[in-house]
Amino acid sequence: MTRRAALAAATAAAVPMSAGVASAAAPAAGRQAPGVYRYKIGSYEVTALTDGLVRRPLDAGFVRNAPIEKVREALSDAFLPPDKVPLSFTTLVVNTGGRLVLIDAGTGGMLAPTAGQLYENMAAAGIDPRAIDMVLVSHFHPDHIAGIRLKDGTLAFPNAEVVVPEAEWAFWMDEGQMSRAPQGMQAAFKMVRRVFEPMAKDVRRFEREAEPAPGIVAIPAYGHTPGHTAFRLTSEGEQLIVWSDTTNHPALFVRNPGWHAVFDMEPEQAEATRRHMLDMVATDRLWVAGYHFPFPAIGHVARTGSDFAFVPAMWNPVL
Ligand SMILES: [Zn+2]
């Protein structure tokens, strides 16, 4: 037998032609696998769940204070399509040992057909929405709060206490602010009312530097919205900064902290917050979880000369 014939015979023996298994082209799955990633901060177990993403066509107003060519260049430098900004949404479930805390609640499928995956990913992660004890909210933009309710208006996490920054509540629930707000912001004000009005008396509001959940301390990170809040999660000497929207996509706004995204309501204050926070997490080498970072949205911020860059965590198959 020639070597070639021997190989063919061996192959034939290993893969029986008649078995009907794996002998046809496999159908393409046509959809993404579940978006779930788990990691530990001290004894706390964090489960990152993607809610999906929206690809926003780039326009000249997306970064208010940079020419669109520069923004295209930054996207291209990150090997992203130069004409569309991928805005992804990553919520976190923190198991503190005593409580299950969901930090921000996704879009509820209310903003785009490509988002609203939180519930199915939570199911894939083996987490029952009825087991969530607390929904902790960073700020009141629709992509963070809409998912508190299902499309039919019922509560997605029926047993959870909803906990929000007082400064956000004070701004968004104010009728005067709503009436003075530009047309483009009316939908956001309406979403705030849709989500919170029916449960207003049950919503717990926390002050600037409170500890809304055990081991989770609020960091006032104002500017993106008037009461935009990040969180410092501490367990057994390890720390995670839950960044919320201190920056949007890191390829744009960690690289260019001076850029003002269209979403920043008080751009100068947002920039000062961003620079302060970038300096803190880079200097202290802290873990950072960013709501709009590429999934699983966890990593570090490195200083590169006078700039910063996001360094994603390496996938860890073992907890
Ligand atoms: Zn956001």
Element (H, E) at 40: strand 36-41
Q: pLDDT per position in the chain (319 positions), as tens? A: 556 655 555 554 454 455 556 777 889 999 999 999 999 999 999 999 999 999 999 999 999 999 999 999 999 999 999 999 999 999 999 999 999 999 999 999 999 999 999 999 999 999 999 999 999 999 999 999 999 999 999 999 999 999 999 999 999 999 999 999 999 999 999 999 999 999 999 999 999 999 999 999 999 999 999 999 999 999 999 999 999 999 999 999 999 999 999 999 999 999 999 999 999 999 999 999 999 999 999 999 999 988 899 999 999 999 9
Could you tell me if residue 20 is inside a domain? no
On the 0-12 / 13-18 / 19+ scale of CB atoms within 10 A, 278 is buried
Q: Is residue 183 part of a domain?
A: yes
In a domain, 9, yes or no: no
The verdict on residue 266 lying in a domain is yes
Nearest to 308 by CA among 255, 270, 258, 272: 255
d(CA 121, ligand 1 centre) in Å: 19
Total domains in the chain come to 1
Rounded Cα distance between 246 and 240, Å, is 14
Cα separation, 248 vs 284, in Å, equals: 21
Distance (Å) from CA 292 to ligand 1 centroid: 7
CA 266 to ligand 1 center in whole angstroms:
15
- Answer yes or no: is 232 within a domain: yes
Predicted local distance difference test score (pLDDT) of residue 25: 87
Q: How far is the CA of 141 from the centre of ligand 1 (A)?
A: 6
CB atoms within 10 A of CB 141: 23
Q: What is the pLDDT of residue 6?
A: 56
**Residue 32 CA to ligand 1 centre (angstroms):** 22
Which pLDDT does position 22 carry in this prediction?
72
Q: Which domain holds residue 235?
A: 33-312
Q: Residue 178 falls within a domain, yes or no? A: yes
Distance 54 CA to ligand 1 centre (A): 11
Whole-number Å distance, alpha carbon 235 to ligand 1 midpoint, is: 26
Query: Could you give the CA distance from residue 129 to residue 156 in angstroms, rounded to a whole number?
Result: 7
Q: Which residue has the tokens 């260019």?
A: 256
CATH classification of the domain holding 184: 3.60.15.10
Query: Is 101 among the domain residues?
Result: yes
Report how far ligand 1's centroid is from the alpha carbon of 175 (Å).
Answer: 23
Is residue 319 in some structural domain? no
Ligand 1 (single-atom ion) residues, CB below 5 Å:
141, 143, 245
Report the distance separating Cα 299 and Cα 286, nearest Å.
9
- How many angstroms separate the Cα of 62 from the Cα of each of 56, 252, 254, 259, 262? 9, 11, 15, 10, 5
User: From ligand 1's centre to the CA of 2, what distance in Å?
Assistant: 65
Ligand 1 centre from 90 Cα, in Å?
10
- pTM value is 0.92
Distance 143 CA to ligand 1 centre (A): 6
pLDDT of residue 42: 98
Q: Say what the pLDDT of residue 10 is.
A: 52
What is the rounded (10 degree) CA torsion for 244, 246, 248, 251? -120
- Cα of 19 vs centre of ligand 1, distance in Å, is 52
Distance 12 CA to ligand 1 centre (A): 55
